[in-house]
Structure 1
Amino acid sequence: MAKRRYGEKQPNIVFRWIYFVIFLLIAVWLLGSILAKKSPANTLKGLFSKIPGDSEIPCEELLIQKDSIIKELEAQVAINGNVVENSGRGMVIIDSQALNMRSKPSLSAEILLKIPANSEVEILYYDSQTYYLEGLPGKWCRIKYADTEGWVWGNYIKAI
């Protein structure tokens, strides 16, 4: 064995092993993505873009749904905590014969029942977000009519 000179750097075997392990991990990752016929970026995205649980939903979908989830939770807090703003009685003011009460604040939601024009309803609360329907701003309104709770377009409800 050769003698070391003073001040001469001796290669550190630990760093060599660390580099070797990192190299192996990258090689396995690339080989796995090639065998799966996916790009390496998509392989990583697939691994880290899901929240673990019973149903693995991609984060992108959860981010899209977050606003509606927040609104539903705020509504539950408002109802359960008795902090309901804009509650009271209201009148259905509409040009047609009836107003559709829906299961969710959306035009594509299921119609629960049709409320006749000039009917009196109980206003529970208004949605916090402003939407546009036929170019006019408005908010969805959670109401109760005939022992049924549902959503109607708030511009058609006038507080009395």
Structure 2
Amino acid sequence: MKSYSNIRSHFDEEQWVIQIRQALDEHLEENTHEIPVSIFHIPRTLKASNPNCYIPQEVALGPYHYWRPELYEMHRYKLAAAQRTQKQLKNLRFHQLVEKLVKYGPKTRAYYHTYLDFNGETLAWMMAVDASFLLEFLQIFAIKEGNKKGQNLHTTPFSEIW
């Protein structure tokens, strides 16, 4: 019973009702039931065997580990990547990109195995910031790999972190 009271103390009933209503309304507009769930939590028994293999050690991407305090130090690098992305967007502000992502919230949520207990705008900001970071990281990795193969490519100051 103790765990039930812990859950209840963090549960916002009004927010839950709003999210259920939105999900049902959006379901009428979009067919999200065709999206196969593909982002799962690792079962506890599997994580217990070797937690370091299944729990992020450096950076959190996506909602399952986003607010883990030991990973939050990397958040400033993710924000820096988002700022650089905003500078590259010519006719679009970053918040406008987020507004576009909010529309895909139900579809995004459908990919996750467990209920994501935060609003659509939070999810959209999280995805936009993480996507900026991940795309920049992959670009830097590709540049470094190109340099190893003898190509002369421009690198960014952010690449020195990695």
Superposed pair shares fold, TM > 0.5: no
Normalised by the size of structure 2, how large is the TM-score? 0.24
Higher relative contact order structure (alpha carbons within 8 Å, sequence separation ≥ 6): 2
More strand by share: 1
Q: Which has the larger radius of gyration?
A: 1
Normalised by the size of structure 1, how large is the TM-score? 0.24
